[in-house]
Structure 1
């Protein structure tokens, strides 16, 4: 009797393989053959779902965004609820820092995500098919950053006239810059710099 394959499980296994290859060796290394080998599949099994390299890479970028979003929002709801009711300014800043640090490569899992985010973002400069997906990765970060600042402001932890759009953009740039420096060999005091930035907000 032929083995029944769950398409969702198979696509998840392929996503794991693509992201592993890209994190280790870059986008160009993620050929159908390399991904099939990484996943322990026949190349025909990968071709059943993806026609070629570009389609595979686009899928991987979408899957990366989905996984980061799920991971971050698993913490966000709890932290944002606490942020809204925190009794003092220092407590609100600490909670804000805790959530925003989800984009810093402070452990192996977040370091891998940072490598992948920056890999897809840089590749989008010369691969137009990736640009919408690289922009979506940025929007996903911006959404949470804006929500953190909005919640902190509403709770009295930030100035009532704080320009949320401007400060969100500044924070996203800081998080991107810190994570890029870290994954290219200059980690520095990432958490301290994030804390100093938050402490300097009015």
Structure 2
């Protein structure tokens, strides 16, 4: 009987998804090699075969999260400039992809906050936290620039300043949506985002 061939890319991704589940449920501090191995249904030795250290595993999971979010948002951003008419609603749809409006996006938001918070005391995570910080601002800048160029917001809009304001709003909505989901509901979250975009005319 020939030995089973394991796809290393798929195995590393499966471990990253196990990290996600542990972090969402119990926090980054509980994402030990042992706990992640148990969650993934693997031996610790299998985890160590694919990752040099615990830090390596957590960094890979953070990068996998960033890649997943980027891929999904990129598809929305690509079609943004093709739309005609009022781009505030398409802009709202693009921006809402980073907000905790359903279970998948809420889990992503929990992971984003967990990794960003952990980066304060884990220098190895800092570059990934900075990547998330910069990525949100790049998204806001792209949406606002398209909206300004299409005439759906004021032509005199200070894109640099409004990028920071919009990113801060999205951050606040995300934190409140994760920590107080019963109060910052998806409906209220979208209403506040829509109100902000409408105010830029």
Q: What TM-score, normalized to structure 1? A: 0.93
Instruction: State the shift of 1:52 in Å.
Output: 2.2
| 2:164 counterpart residue number | 169
The 5-angstrom pairing of residues 113-132 of structure 1 reads: 113-132=108-127
Q: For residue 24 of structure 2, what is the aligned residue in structure 1? A: 23
* Equivalent-residue separation in structure 2 for 1:178 and 1:68 (angstroms): 17
Deviations 1:13-67 (A, max 9, x none): 1111111111111111111111111111111111011122211111111111001
Once residues 195 and 42 of structure 2 are traced to their aligned partners in structure 1, the CA distance between those partners, rounded to angstroms, is: 48
Kindly state the Cα deviation for residue 137 of structure 1 after the two structures are TM-superposed: 1.1
Which residue pairs with 2:59 in the alignment?
Answer: 58
1:69 paired with 2:64, answer: no
Residue 74 of structure 1, CA deviation: 2.0
Retained in 2: the 8 A contact 1:18–1:35? yes
| Partners of 2:116 and 2:191 in 1: CA distance | 26
Matched residues in 2 for 1:126 and 1:4: separation? 38
**Which consecutive residues of structure 2, in runs of 5 or more, have no partner in the other structure?**
none
SS of structure 2 residue aligned to 1:157: coil
SS in 2 for 1:96: helix
Of the candidates 108, 112, 117, which is equivalent to residue 107 of structure 2? 112
* 1:112-141, Cα deviation, whole Å (9 max, x unpaired): 001011111111112121111111012222
Whether 1:199 aligns to 2:171 is no
After superposition, the C-alpha distances for 1:89-109 in whole angstroms (9 at most, x for unaligned) are xx2111111111111111000
**Are residues 1:187 and 2:178 paired?**
no
Tell me the SS of whatever aligns to 2:5.
Answer: coil
What's the C-alpha RMSD, in Å, of the aligned pairs? 1.2
Could you list the runs of 5+ residues in structure 1 that have no partner in the other structure? none
State the alpha-carbon separation in 2 of the partners of residues 179 and 45 from structure 1. 35
Task: Give the structure 2 partner of residue 160 of structure 1.
Answer: 155
- TM-score scaled to structure 2, two decimals? 0.93
Which of 136, 148, 172 matches 2:143?
A: 148
Whether the 8 Å contact between 1:75 and 1:99 is mirrored in structure 2 is yes
Aligned-pair CA distance for 1:160: 2.0
